[in-house]
A and B are shown apart, each in its own frame.
Chain A
């Protein structure tokens, strides 16, 4: 988990509320990513960012929003429009955004919405 922090580890929210998950890295990586993991499933890409002030939608961006105002920070907002937000959210970063780069992951945030 070294170099990438996610907070909080557990998050509980009521349905209809927006919630923001924090992701910070001190690896000086250009690219950052947000994934969602459901029980027994692989990771699905929500959003990614190659450079500051730029980001692209992944496979399941609906109901989520991001910002990349600083190189080291890539917060994810889960909006009330996300129909099934309860999941384990993982943030990752990599030195570049090409296919040759390994990704470094944070410890994850488990979000429960009731």
Chain B
């Protein structure tokens, strides 16, 4: 089952602009992760934010988490053509017997125009 849902589905911006993607989820989480996927490739982990954190930075990436609204946002500042990719949020879901699995949204497809 897909818990996270990204918005917008697609985003096109000019190089140098900021890109903001949002993720909403339904049930409480322990943490939320963001991944990036270049076309036809595997996913690459970008950042993990815990449920007791509100904001986290990594280079040009800024992630916020609002557990009261069950939402997260990923901001990429000063975008580059190389940032063109799909971005997925993933939330943990309890799958029984002490195990957790990640559930992924459908992603936001970001196009950065040079």
Interface positions of A (Cβ within 8 A of B)? 1, 4, 6, 33, 35, 40-45, 48, 50, 56, 58-59, 88, 90, 92, 97-100, 102-108, 110
Contact = CB atoms under 8 A, between A and B. Distances in A.
A56 B28 CA distance: 23
5 contacts: A45-B101, A48-B101, A103-B45, A103-B102, A110-B40
Interface string B1-41: 11010000000000000000000000000110100000011
A42 B104 CA distance: 6
Chain B contact residues: over half helix, strand or loop, or mixed? Answer: strand
A44 B101 CA distance: 11
Nearest to B101: A45
Interface size class of B (residues with CB under 8 A): 20 to 34
Nearest to A9: B40
B104 A43 contact: yes
A98 to B, nearest CB: 6
B43 interface: yes
Interface in B43-77: 43-45, 48, 50
Interface of B: 1-2, 4, 30-31, 33, 40-45, 48, 50, 88, 92, 95, 99-107
In this complex, which of A4, A43, A59 has the most chain B Cβ atoms within 10 angstroms of its Cβ? A43
A108 B99 contact: no
Contacts of B102: 45, 103
Contacts of A59: 1
A41 B106 contact: yes
B44 A105 contact: yes
A90 B100 contact: no
